[in-house]
Structure 1
Amino acid sequence: MTKFSPTHRKQSCVEQPASAALYDEWLVMMARDGDRQAAVRLYQRWNPRLARAARRYGMEDEAALDLAQECWLAIFKGLSRLRDPSRFRSYAFAVLHRRGSEYVRKSLRERSAMDCLATNTETKPETQSERAAITQAFASLTPDLRVAAHLHFVEGLTLREIAQVQQIPEGTAKSRIFNARRKLKDALGPST
């Protein structure tokens, strides 16, 4: 078994290489200046990540894709106000968080508290797949914990970025990550 140093851990799939981040910054600047091809390329690079994150709000695939599309309208509309292109990642996820939160609030208003709780705690039949186990564990988290965990573990956002996206203090973001990690560990059990 190979041991990894703490610096090697930084090269995980969730962290963007410097060249990818610079490319995204360039795309943001070009799109902001009206370059349609740059906007299309930015969309192509980021839409899968936004759609994947949208699913963490408890949406089915089609609804998650719709939410991501709605977010893109807001992202492109507000791109001219984004002063620092290096902050595009947190900006895009902040737009998603606001829209996803609206979706959750609307869902909660439409259903009774018991119906909502039953829907969020439904689990799929057990499978041998680790992916299914992880999906179930994420589904068991509250929406705030689920989004914070997704942004941290899947998207690689820092605590500061998560705090900005969710519009909460950094300490609350840290607490959400800690609680999500604990609950995920409990849900996944010792075998995973």
Structure 2
Amino acid sequence: MMEKSPPSNPQTASDLFDEMLVVMAQRGDRLALERLYRRWNARLTRTARRYCGQDCTAQDLAQECWLAILKGLGGLRDPKRFRSYAFAVLHRRGADHLRKVMRERGSAGDPGEESTMPPQSESAAIAQAFASLPPDQRLAAHLYFIEGLTLGEIAAVQSIPEGTAKSRLFHARRKLKAALSDTNKGVTQ
């Protein structure tokens, strides 16, 4: 007798709860919307911090995202996709913010200040390695390693083909490994 293989990405109880909250919020339940905010705000803020690095206030970017999420939540056809929808909003808002910062730096002639301080700990080294990644790779790596999104979900968040998401993760992983091995060499010498 042949056994069926389990689905590749089964929904967890947490996913189902989020889906229920989205449906209730779409129907006007303010308490469900508030609960969705409490469940997701810290994750979006953490991702905003990782995405923008020192170029933005993560709380401000997360708040901008929530305004857009609330505005577009009624149009979300598949409540199961809230996670990728929320991160896609963050990606678009973060990219807008980064373009604005780059324009301001270009017009002011300020290339930005690079940190020359060595990392103080392993977590600082990881944060520094993440910060050194280009924004699109940084976001893809964060969504994969920290938030647990699949390649398909990352592709949807960043509005790119799945192969491009895979490539971004490959390059991010390679750069993180190189940055962290350079850091470890400096510590042991």
TM-score tier, shorter chain, comes to 0.7 to 0.9
Taking structure 1 as the reference length, what is the TM-score of the superposition?
A: 0.83
State the one-letter code of the partner of 2:60: D
Partner of 2:179: 187
Q: Which moved more, 1:89-98 or 1:125-134?
A: 125-134
How far did 1:75 drift? 0.5
How far did 1:83 drift? 1.1
Contact 1:124 1:136 in 2 (8 A): no
Identity %: 64
State the one-letter code of the partner of 1:177: L
How far did 1:89 drift? 0.1
Which residue of the other structure, out of 94, 98, 101, is the alignment partner of 2:95? 101
Deviation string 1:124-180 (CA, Å, 9 cap, x unpaired) is: 622442110100000110111111111111111111111111111111110000000
How far did 1:56 drift? 2.1
RMSD between superposed Cα atoms in Å: 2.5
Residues 1:82 and 2:84 aligned together: no
State the number of aligned residues.
Answer: 176
Partner of 1:126: 118
Partner of 2:133: 141
Deviation string 1:17-61 (CA, Å, 9 cap, x unpaired) is: 711111111111111111111100000000000001111233449
Contact 2:44 2:87 in 1 (8 A): yes
Partner of 1:7: none
For structure 1, list consecutive stretches of 5 or more residues without a partner in the other structure.
1-9
- In the alignment, the residues of structure 1 paired with residue 100 and residue 26 of structure 2 have an alpha-carbon distance, to the nearest angstrom, of 32
Which residue of the other structure, out of 137, 150, 157, is the alignment partner of 1:165? 157
State the one-letter code of the partner of 2:149: L
- In the alignment, the residues of structure 2 paired with residue 61 and residue 107 of structure 1 have an alpha-carbon distance, to the nearest angstrom, of 7
How far did 1:112 drift? 2.3
Contact 1:123 1:136 in 2 (8 A): no
Task: Rate the CA distance shift 1:123–1:16 in 2: closer, same or farther, 3 A.
Answer: farther
For structure 2, list consecutive stretches of 5 or more residues without a partner in the other structure.
1-7
